[in-house]
Structure 1
Amino acid sequence: MQSGLLRLLGTGPREAARQAAVLLTVAGLLALLGILNDRTHADRLIAVALCDAGTALAGFLLPWNRMGRFSPAWLGLAAFAVLGLSTWSFGGVSTGTGPFLVLLYSWAGLHFPRWILMLYLAPATVAFMLPLILTGQPQAVVGSAVILMPVALTVALLIEAQARHLRDDRERLARIEEWRAGMVSTLAHDVRAPLSTVRGVLEELQDSPGFTAHDQRMVAAALRQTARIARLADGLLDLHRIDSSGHLKLDREEYPAGTLVKDALQYVRADADIRTEIPPGLTIRVDKQRFEQILLNLMTNALRYGAPPIVVRVARDGAYDRLEVRDHGPGIPDELRTRLFGQFAAGGKQGVGLGLWIVRQLAEAHGGRAVAEARDPGVAMVVTFPLNQTP
């Protein structure tokens, strides 16, 4: 329902016109069904159905997006005229046309400002009241119809106020998202130039004569962390690409699972209590850089919010390879565990931010998933990678 004539959801002129067309189509079908109860006025009811159908076709087929923001309001005037014809065709019985009047006003409240709703009041009143007067309805019936008009207007005004509030919120969020995306992209790009300079200086120092073994280890550690910062910058760019296009291109190959984990853990502080459980000879088909990014994000989360020891497991589980990072901390409440991997998820002391959301995106890019499983004690962050993956 997102393309062609069936695109109904939205707030633009085209969507407003098509929603009105749906209401008119239903009204036309009801007019045809009314023939079963009132065959004496079959010709009138057929005329009502044809008017509904013609107005509905206009709602579906005309290029409303090129005709102005509020152009579908003309459909409302046509619908009020057909409503009056329908009331007259049913001999002044407004049992069905009264609710349709409220529906039309509700539709108008979703799409048009208050001034259009106020302008509708006169033609809507004439369309609804005139057939009752012409068919000689009792004063009580006409009086009840008078009450219906302010009710319909009030409902429409309430809907208009709520719709306007939601549109304002959506525009504000769109501006915030645009600013955030621009900031992320700029930060990721701007950090690369000074980082390249730092890396070049460190590499020259590493080759300098007279450095002690301790100096060499310090420079090597600084180079590893510089490489990690570069990968973090790449991760921010990945975030921007995922937000923009909804997908991420991966370079997957077969790697020894033990080597992958060992290479990634060299970026974790040396004094951390980390244990690994990986079957010898196990291989895993992943994008090496993204796998490392997943593992480091999970390790960062475990070290920050959990308690030692941190256990890293990789195992084959049916059609999946399974990476598990488990801590032995206080655990995470059930209500928070279900939303841990959401973007900017937060939960007070146990709050987590963007890292786990990136983990989920990278897992899904591999065709797997990321979940948090309760342990006693602690929690296990689990990422799966399917064995049968298309390149």
Structure 2
Amino acid sequence: MVRRWFLLGESPLHAARQLALLLAVGALLTVVKLLSVPAAQQGIYLALAALQAAAAAAAWCPIWRRLPPQAPLVLTLPAFTVLATSIWAAGGVAAAAAPFFVLVFVWIGLHFPARTVLAVTPVALAAYLGPMLLAGRDPAVITSAILFIPTLTAVAVMIARQVDHHRRDRDALRRAERWRAALTSTLAHDVRSPLTSVRFVLETLHDEAEALPPDQRRTLIETALRQAARIHRLAAGLLDADRIDAEGRLRLETTSVPLRSAIDDALAYLTTPITVHLAGDVKVRADPARLEQILINLLTNAVRHGEPPITVTVRPAPGAMVAIDVRDHGPGVPPGRRQALFSRFSGTDAAPGSVGLGLWIARELARAHGGDVTYHPADPGTRFTVTLPAVDPAPPPVDEGARS
């Protein structure tokens, strides 16, 4: 029994081994045909059988797994050579070779894009018509043969298109499955910790509320509110990612937002001291809730992966924009990970148990505002810059001290 993984798949190895099976069957049928051909032609068919067997052996070698996806196409050269020679040996009669032309075109359509089918067509046409012309077949036969290869081309192109369609559907299903797995992972890890804190606070207040000093009760309540806000941000981020994935954009309720208050509100969720450089009452055109989410995502990323001091600097940017730089002094982002920095699920901005959506969501939200989020290496550390439309011209930044 032929093992399934030897033949079924989409790698160059699977493609080569499928054609190897066709070549081996062709070699076997050629050997059988030796019994019914004149002795003068047996040498030709014996050579054809040997060529097919050698090509089948080469196609079966494991080396194809290390070659580019288009590499198995070279195997069509011995296949078409054998088919052309068999038509010539049969006096220009293609009855025996035609089914193998069909199988080769089907194989090409299954494993290669439609443009490859079109590129191979002239070679196949020469292999099919050349022997007939050399044998002097009458024009009616030649005309029907001329129509045969374009028909095979159309069939192979339809197969290639259909395979590509199914491949895209499968990739979409895989992305959806990965998205569901990410949601499960997030709920299992990111939500459990803040829920545990909220539950602890509620149980403490339930059992010891009267015995606790007012300051301690206030601290516990603030802790619970902060953790509840963390859960809310997580849920909002996941919903945003789902909307972006489904609709490609977000609906925003933009207004004039003072950056000072927006930054202070975002810093209230953090306990790490962060220095803010901002002069005057700079305002941006933004959705307040989305702006807060952008800032929290970038600041949280800096706290998780960077090192103090962490700074936020507001400065004017070209095109009537405001730039907000979030700078840390940590180890920075390795060069190999920078290209996928803003990719969903890249893990670049993900702490253990997280799904790595923060930077991706921040960029998508900024772009929905007409701005962007970009990465710049610093020495040391990293600098993420979010640009947003300015309401008033932004003055040069000045240091106004630490915020937390």
- Please state how far the C-alpha of 1:187 moved relative to its aligned partner: 9.3
Q: Do 2:325 and 2:383's aligned partners in 1 also have CA atoms closer than 8 Å? A: yes
Report SS of the residue matched to 1:216.
helix
- Please state how far the C-alpha of 1:185 moved relative to its aligned partner: 7.4
After TM superposition, the structure 1 = structure 2 runs for residues 333-344 of structure 1, keeping only pairs within 5 Å, are 333-344=334-345
The alignment status of 1:317 with 2:332, answered yes or no, reads no
Q: Do 2:374 and 2:385's aligned partners in 1 also have CA atoms closer than 8 Å? A: yes
- 2:229 matched residue in structure 1: 227
Q: Cα–Cα, structure 1 residues 187 and 254, in superposed 2: closer, same or farther, change >3 Å?
A: farther
Measured in 2, the distance between the counterparts of 1:308 and 1:346 equals 22
Q: Do 2:349 and 2:357's aligned partners in 1 also have CA atoms closer than 8 Å? A: no
Measured in 2, the distance between the counterparts of 1:252 and 1:348 equals 27
Q: Deviations over 1:204-262 (max 9, x none)?
A: 959x6664212211211211220221121011111111100101011222222111111
Q: Deviations over 1:333-385 (max 9, x none)?
A: 44533431121224699998221111111111111111101211111011110
Pick one of 172, 175, 178 that aligns with 1:174.
Answer: 172
Q: Do 1:184 and 1:236's aligned partners in 2 also have CA atoms closer than 8 Å? A: no
Gap regions ≥5 residues in structure 1: 1-100, 112-120, 137-141
Paired AA for residue 305 in structure 2: Y
- Please state how far the C-alpha of 1:179 moved relative to its aligned partner: 3.1
> Which one scores higher on RCO, CA 8 angstroms, separation ≥ 6?
2
- 1:373 matched residue in structure 2: 376
Q: Do 2:254 and 2:287's aligned partners in 1 also have CA atoms closer than 8 Å? A: yes
The alignment status of 1:387 with 2:390, answered yes or no, reads yes
Q: Do 1:320 and 1:387's aligned partners in 2 also have CA atoms closer than 8 Å? A: yes
Measured in 2, the distance between the counterparts of 1:169 and 1:383 equals 36
- 2:299 matched residue in structure 1: 299
Report SS of the residue matched to 1:258.
helix
Q: Cα–Cα, structure 1 residues 135 and 379, in superposed 2: closer, same or farther, change >3 Å?
A: same
Measured in 1, the distance between the counterparts of 2:248 and 2:256 equals 25
Q: Deviations over 1:60-82 (max 9, x none)?
A: xxxxxxxxxxxxxxxxxxxxxxx
Q: Do 1:311 and 1:326's aligned partners in 2 also have CA atoms closer than 8 Å? A: yes
Q: Cα–Cα, structure 1 residues 172 and 288, in superposed 2: closer, same or farther, change >3 Å?
A: same
After TM superposition, the structure 1 = structure 2 runs for residues 19-34 of structure 1, keeping only pairs within 5 Å, are none
Measured in 2, the distance between the counterparts of 1:204 and 1:253 equals 41
- 1:83 matched residue in structure 2: none
Report SS of the residue matched to 1:221.
helix
Measured in 1, the distance between the counterparts of 2:360 and 2:350 equals 18
Report SS of the residue matched to 2:137.
helix
Report SS of the residue matched to 1:373.
strand
- Of residues 125-134 and 247-256 in structure 1, the stretch that sits farther from structure 2 once superposed is 125-134
- Please state how far the C-alpha of 1:163 moved relative to its aligned partner: 7.5
Q: Do 1:274 and 1:310's aligned partners in 2 also have CA atoms closer than 8 Å? A: yes
Q: Do 1:184 and 1:237's aligned partners in 2 also have CA atoms closer than 8 Å? A: no
- 1:329 matched residue in structure 2: 330
Q: Deviations over 1:98-155 (max 9, x none)?
A: xxx99x95996657xxxxxxxxx99x9589947962259xxxxx9xx9xxx99x999x
Q: Cα–Cα, structure 1 residues 288 and 202, in superposed 2: closer, same or farther, change >3 Å?
A: farther
- 1:276 matched residue in structure 2: 276
After TM superposition, the structure 1 = structure 2 runs for residues 51-66 of structure 1, keeping only pairs within 5 Å, are none
Paired AA for residue 370 in structure 2: G
Measured in 1, the distance between the counterparts of 2:172 and 2:131 equals 41
The alignment status of 1:134 with 2:131, answered yes or no, reads no
Q: TM-score, normalised by structure 1?
A: 0.53
Q: Cα–Cα, structure 1 residues 203 and 321, in superposed 2: closer, same or farther, change >3 Å?
A: farther
Pick one of 353, 363, 367 that aligns with 2:366.
Answer: 363
Report SS of the residue matched to 2:281.
coil
Paired AA for residue 386 in structure 1: P
Paired AA for residue 356 in structure 1: L
Paired AA for residue 336 in structure 1: R
Q: Do 2:308 and 2:329's aligned partners in 1 also have CA atoms closer than 8 Å? A: yes
Measured in 1, the distance between the counterparts of 2:228 and 2:216 equals 18
Pick one of 327, 343, 357 that aligns with 1:354.
Answer: 357
- Please state how far the C-alpha of 1:281 moved relative to its aligned partner: 1.6
Q: Do 1:185 and 1:237's aligned partners in 2 also have CA atoms closer than 8 Å? A: no
- Please state how far the C-alpha of 1:287 moved relative to its aligned partner: 1.4
Gap regions ≥5 residues in structure 2: 1-100, 115-123, 393-404
- 2:243 matched residue in structure 1: 241
The alignment status of 1:288 with 2:279, answered yes or no, reads no
Paired AA for residue 228 in structure 2: T
Measured in 2, the distance between the counterparts of 1:263 and 1:381 equals 19
Measured in 1, the distance between the counterparts of 2:381 and 2:255 equals 32
Task: Count matched residues.
Answer: 261
Q: TM-score, normalised by structure 2?
A: 0.51
Paired AA for residue 382 in structure 2: V
Paired AA for residue 134 in structure 1: D
Q: Do 2:307 and 2:328's aligned partners in 1 also have CA atoms closer than 8 Å? A: yes
Paired AA for residue 247 in structure 1: R
Measured in 2, the distance between the counterparts of 1:176 and 1:315 equals 42
Q: Do 1:363 and 1:369's aligned partners in 2 also have CA atoms closer than 8 Å? A: yes
Measured in 2, the distance between the counterparts of 1:162 and 1:303 equals 49
Measured in 2, the distance between the counterparts of 1:217 and 1:385 equals 35
